[in-house]
Amino acid sequence: MILVIDNYDSFTYNLVHLLYSLHADVVVRRNREITVAEALGMRADGLLFSPGPGRPDGAGIMEELIRAAAVEAMPMLGVCLGHQAIGEVFGAEVVSAARIMHGKVSRISHNGEGLFAGLKNDFKAVRYHSLALQESTLPADLEVTARADDGEIMGLRHRTLPIHGIQYHPESIMTTNGKQQLANFLKIVETHKRKGA
């Protein structure tokens, strides 16, 4: 089961519908309507943190849950605000983006691994963000996995834990291969589950 933490965003259910189309078992809870203990008690196989307004440190339990779930090495995917939260939890700074991006299409280059396995490079993705992770503050535990054509970090992962983040919106109809990226996350979740069995 994938537990989706909804950061009060209109895009959340587009992500949920994509997961349903991949035959995932999905439960959705808003970030202020569940405790960390309740979330961990659901024994989800993976966590997905949705986009949302504001700064990641103001999004209910999200950052506290990321910390707690990381201790259990739970697979996680952060999208937009969720991506920023993962960066912030591990020590990166969230700053104003060089350019405000609202519904803008960028070309994304990536490392071809993890979320990007089997995907062509230089794909199109839709961005909605005014904040970004400051690369100079990225901790050694996190590595950049994707960039936009303007150089902004678009993807990251933890070097030893199954934790991934993407700044753009995979659920947008204008993002190429967004469904495949979520399918790749589900494969990461399944691989982790088999290792723990």
So which residues are the catalytic ones?
Answer: 80, 169, 171
Check: CB of residue 12 under 8 Å from CB of residue 28: yes
Task: For the chain, give the DSSP string.
Answer: -EEEEE-S-TTHHHHHHHHHHTT--EEEEETTSS-HHHHHHTT-SEEEE---SS-GGGSTTHHHHHHHHHHTT--EEEETHHHHHHHHHTTPPEEEEEEEEEEEEEEEEE-SSGGGTTPPSSEEEEEEEEEEE-GGG--TTEEEEEEETTS-EEEEEESSSSEEEESSBTTSTTSTTHHHHHHHHHHHHHHHHHHH-
Distance CA 146, CA 54 (A): 23
Name the one residue in this structure whose structure tokens are 């999208």. Answer: 79
